[in-house]
Amino acid sequence: MASTEGALTGTGYINHHLTNLTFGRFPEGHWGFAHGAEEAASMGFMAIHVDSMAWSLGLGIIMFLIFRSIAKGFSVDKPSKVQCAVESLFEMAQDSKDGTFTKQAENLWIAPMALTIFVWVFFMNLMDLIPVDWLPTAAALLNGESWSSISAHGAQTYMKVVPSTDVNIALGTALGVFLMIIYYSLKMKGPIGFTKELTLQPFGPYLVPFNLLLELVALLAKPLSLGLRLFGNMYAGELIFILIAMMYSAGLGLGVLGGFAQLGWAIFHILVITLQAYIFMMLTIVYLSQAHEAH
C-alpha cells in the first residue's frame, strides 16, 4: 500500500515505487501475491518478482524482434536508419572484443553476445526515463482501482518497471556471465590448468591455501561487482526520479521546479543508462578474455 493509514504519505509513496509485485508461498502454506514488503520478505528466497521478470523478458523479446526484422530486411544498397544503427553498435562490440582479446584463436560469438548484453541492459535501463507514475498507475487502473482512490490514497497495485533496479535481475545477469567465465576457463585451460591457476599464483606452490583463498575471492568478485555496479547506479537514479516526482504534490512553485529538475536529471540520466550498459558489456568481454588466457 502507498499508505498505512489511508492518506498518501511521502514514505508510503517511495516504498510503493520501490516494492516489487511479488508472487510466492506464504508461511501458512498457500501461494499468492504479496501485499507489501513484509509479506514479500516472508515468502523467502523462492519468491518471484513478477514485474521485473515480465519487463526484462518482454524487453528481451522486443530486442529479438528488432534484430530479426533487420536481419530479414537486410539491404546493402539501401540500408534503413535502424539497420545502420545496429551495424554501428555491432562494430562497436566487435572493436571492443578485438581490442580486448589477446589470444589469437577466434571466438566468433563473443561480439554478438556482447552486442546482445549491451542492447538488453540498455533497454532495461531505458525504462528509467518513463515518468515514475505512468506505468504503476496504468497497472492499478487495469487492476480495477479507481482514479479517485489512486489520487487520494495512492495505488495499491505494485509495479516496478525498471528491471535493472532489481538486485535479482542485475545479479542474475551477472551470474550468466560468471557461468561463461567458468566454462571457458575449463575449456581453454583444462581442469588441471584452471586448478593450477587458482592454487599456484601469485605466491607459488608453497602457499597453495593462501593462493586459493585470494584467487577465489578475485573470481567471485567478478559477478558481484558486475551486478552490484549496475544495480547500485540504476537504483540511485530511480530513487532520485521518485524524489523529484514528490515535488509535484508540494504546490505550484515546487511543481514547476520539479519539472525542470526532472528534465535535467533525465537528460543527464541518458548518459548514465548508456554508460552502465557499456560498462557491463566491456567487463564481460574483459572477464571472458581473461578466461581464454592460459598462464
pLDDT at 5: 46
Query: What is the pTM assigned to this prediction?
Result: 0.92
Is 56 noted as a catalytic residue in this protein?
no
Query: Are the beta carbons of 58 and 163 closer than 8 angstroms?
Result: no
User: Of these residues, 15, 125, 164, 233, which one is catalytic?
Assistant: 233
Judge whether 51 lies within some domain: yes
Judge whether 2 lies within some domain: no
Is 107 noted as a catalytic residue in this protein?
no
Judge whether 258 lies within some domain: yes
User: Of these residues, 69, 80, 143, 225, which one is catalytic?
Assistant: 225
User: Of these residues, 25, 42, 107, 229, which one is catalytic?
Assistant: 229
pLDDT mean values, one per 10 residues, the chain (295 residues): 57 90 94 91 93 97 94 87 91 90 71 94 96 93 90 86 96 96 93 93 89 94 96 96 89 88 94 97 94 79
Judge whether 3 lies within some domain: no
Judge whether 1 lies within some domain: no
Total of domains in the chain: 1
d(CA 88, CA 215): 37
Domain that residue 149 falls in: 10-292
Judge whether 266 lies within some domain: yes
d(CA 22, CA 49): 5
pLDDT at 214: 94
Judge whether 252 lies within some domain: yes
Judge whether 5 lies within some domain: no
- Tell me whether residue 36 is exposed, middle or buried, using C-beta atoms within 10 angstroms of its C-beta: 0 to 12, 13 to 18, 19 or more: middle
Is 25 noted as a catalytic residue in this protein?
no
